[in-house]
A and B are shown apart, each in its own frame.
Chain A
Amino acid sequence: MNSNRRGPAPSIRIASFCKVIIAAVFIASAGISYVYLKNQLKLSGDKQIELERQLAEVRKDNERMQLQIDSLTSLAAIKKKLAQNSFGLVPITTDQVVRLNQDDPNGDDLRVVSNRPFRK
Chain B
Amino acid sequence: MNRNEQARAAIICFALVGVFSLFSVRLIYLQVLQHDVYVELAAEKHVHKQLIYARRGVIRGSRGEPLAENRRIYDVAADGSHIRNPTALAQAIAGQLEMDPAELEAKLKAIVAKTIADKKAESKVLKKGVSEEVFENISKITKGQRQLAGIYFDLNFERVYPNGNLLAQVIGFMDAGHDPRLGIERSMQDFLKGTNVFRFLEEDQKGHELVQYRGLETPAKDGCDVRLTIDMQLQNIVESELDAACLEYKPKMAAAVMIRPQTGEILAMASRPTFDCNDPRSSTPDQQKNRPIVDMVEPGSTFKIVVTSAAVEEKVATPETKIYCENGAYAYAGHILHDAHPMGMLTLHQVLAHSSNIGAAKLAIQLGKDRFYQYIRRYGFGETTGISLPGEIPGLVNPPYRWSELDITRVPMGQSVAVTPLQLVTAMSAVANGGILMKPILISEIDDADGRPVVTYSPVQVRRVISTDTSRKIVSALKDVVSRDGTAKDAAVPGFAVAGKTGTAQKIDPRGGYLEGRYVVSFVGFMPADDPKFSLLVVIDDPEMKEGKAFGGTVAAPVFARIAKRVADYLGLQPANPVEPPGLLETPKKLTSTLAGRG
Q: How many residues of A contact B (CB 8 A)?
A: 41
Q: Tell me which of B166, B582, B587, B595 contacts A75 (CB under 8 A).
A: B166
Against B, the Cβ 8 Å flags (1 = close, 0 = not) of A42-66 are 1011101100000000001001101
Residues of B within 8 A of A119 (CB): 586-587, 592
In the assembled complex, A21 has its CB within 8 A of some CB on chain B: no
Cα-based distance from A71 to B164 in the complex (angstroms): 10
Which residues of chain B from 571 to 595 have any CB-CB distance to chain A below 8 Å in the complex? 572, 574-575, 578-587, 591-592, 594-595
- B212, A41: Cβ atoms under 8 Å? yes
A-B contact pairs, 26 of them (CB 8 A): A41-B212, A48-B211, A60-B132, A67-B69, A71-B160, A71-B162, A74-B65, A76-B162, A93-B581, A94-B494, A94-B579, A95-B582, A95-B584, A95-B585, A109-B598, A110-B595, A110-B598, A111-B574, A114-B578, A114-B581, A115-B579, A116-B580, A116-B581, A118-B587, A119-B586, A119-B592
Q: Are B162 and A70 in contact (CB under 8 A)?
A: yes
Asked if B594 and A110 make an inter-chain contact with CB atoms under 8 angstroms apart, the answer reads: yes
- In the complex the two chains form, what is the Cα distance from A42 to B203 in whole Å? 12
Report the separation of the CA atoms of residues A80 and B578 in the bound assembly, to the nearest whole angstrom: 35
Contact with B along A104-120 (1 / 0, CB 8 A): 00000111111110111
Question: Do B162 and A114 have beta carbons less than 8 Å apart?
Answer: no
- C-beta contact mask, B148-181 vs A, less than 8 Å → 1, else 0? 0000000000001011101000000000000000
Contact with A along B215-243 (1 / 0, CB 8 A): 00000000000000000110010001000
Q: Using a CB-CB cutoff of 8 Å, which residues 68-120 of chain A contact chain B?
A: 70-71, 73-77, 79, 92-99, 101, 103, 109-116, 118-120
Q: Give chain A residues whose Cβ lies under 8 Å from the Cβ of B578.
A: 114-115
B71, CB-defined interface residue at 8 Å: yes
CB pair B212 A42 closer than 8 Å: yes
Count how many pairs of residues, one from A and one from B, have CB atoms less than 8 Å apart in the complex: 97
B595's partner among A41, A60, A76, A118 (CB-CB below 8 A) is: A118
Contacts of A76 in B (CB 8 A): 162-164, 166
A45 to chain B, nearest CB (A): 3
Chain B residues lying within 8 Å of A92, measured Cβ to Cβ, are 569
Residues on A with C-beta less than 8 A from B160 are 67, 71
Once A76-B163, A118-B587 are accepted as A-B contacts, the answer to whether A49 and B595 lie under 8 Å apart by CB is no
Q: Which of A49, A73, A96 contacts B585 (CB 8 A)?
A: A96
Quick one: which of A42, A44, A109, A118 contacts B592, CB cutoff 8 A?
A118
User: Closest 5 A-B residue pairs measured CB to CB?
Assistant: A45-B211, A115-B578, A74-B162, A95-B581, A41-B212
Point out which of B66, B160, B236, B494 has the most chain A C-beta atoms below 10 A from its C-beta. B66
Compute how far the CA of A59 lies from the CA of B360 in the bound complex, rounded to whole angstroms: 64
For residue B210, CB closer than 8 A to chain A, the reply is yes
Q: Does B530 contact A (CB under 8 A)?
A: no
Q: Is the CB of A67 within 8 A of B71?
A: yes
| Complex alpha-carbon distance, A98 and B71, angstroms | 43
B252 neighbours in A (Cβ, 8 Å): none
Assembled-state Cα–Cα distance A73/B595 (Å): 37
- Give bound CA distance, A116 to B586, whole Å: 11
Cβ of B209 within 8 Å of any chain A Cβ, yes or no, is yes
A57 to chain B, nearest CB (A): 11
Q: Does B495 contact A (CB under 8 A)?
A: yes
5 extra A-B contacts, CB within 8 A, seeds A46-B208, A49-B209 = A42-B210, A70-B69, A73-B65, A112-B587, A118-B591
CB-contact partner of A45 in B209, B581, B586, under 8 A: B209
Interchain CB contact (< 8 A) of B584 among A49, A77, A116: A116
Contact of B146 with A by CB under 8 A? no
Q: State A101–B576 Cα separation when bound (angstroms).
A: 12
Contacts of A49 in B (CB 8 A): 208-209, 211
Contact assessment for B162 and A63 in the assembled complex, using a CB-CB cutoff below 8 Å:
no
Residue B72 interfacial (CB < 8 Å): yes
Residue of B nearest to A77 (CB): B162
Cross-interface CB contact of B580 among A73, A112, A115, cutoff 8 Å: A115
B210 touches A79 (CB 8 A): no
Q: Which residues of B contact A75 (CB under 8 A)?
A: 163, 166, 232-233, 236
* Nearest chain B residue, comparing its CB with the CB of A103: B574
Question: Is residue B340 contacting chain A, with contact meaning CB distance below 8 A?
Answer: no
**Closest-CB distance, A41 to chain B (whole angstroms):** 5
- The residue of chain B having its C-beta at the shortest distance from the C-beta of A52 within the complex is B211
B596 CB–A CB distance under 8 Å: yes
Q: Which residues of A contact B164 (CB under 8 A)?
A: 74, 76
Q: What residues on B are CB-neighbors of A60 within 8 Å?
A: 72, 132
A99 touches B574 (CB 8 A): yes
Give a binary string over A9-51; 1 marks a CB under 8 Å from any B CB, 0 the rest: 0000000000000000000000000000000011011101100
B494 touches A45 (CB 8 A): no
Cα A75 to Cα B237 with chains together (Å) = 11
Find chain A residues with CB under 8 A from B209 CB.
45, 49
Complex partner residue of A113 from B575, B582, B583, B586, CB under 8 angstroms: B575
Chain A residues with Cβ under 8 A from B584's Cβ? 95, 114, 116
